[in-house]
Amino acid sequence: MTADLDEGPIIAQDVARVDHSKTVEDLTALGRNTESQVLAPAVKWHGEHRVLINGHKTVIFRSLSRYPPPSPAPIAPPRPAPTPG
């Protein structure tokens, strides 16, 4: 993280298609909307400690919720006590 806006690592990006008919106000609104759509999941991933900076690259780990934990090994019934003899 840095104190300057847009100076930190890129975690997520999106694009919005525009054409010559868009006004400055249209572009500003479109940019804000796109930014908010991308920022929310990026903050969530950061909070889940899924973002890793590796040199000049940003790695986002998959959500573990997609991969349930393995089932525990079945517990074997207790063995009967040996009979004296």
Residues labelled as active-site residues? 6
Three-class DSSP category at 47: helix
Q: Which of 11, 2, 4 is CA-nearest to residue 58?
A: 11
Whole-angstrom distance, CA of residue 59 vs CA of residue 14: 17
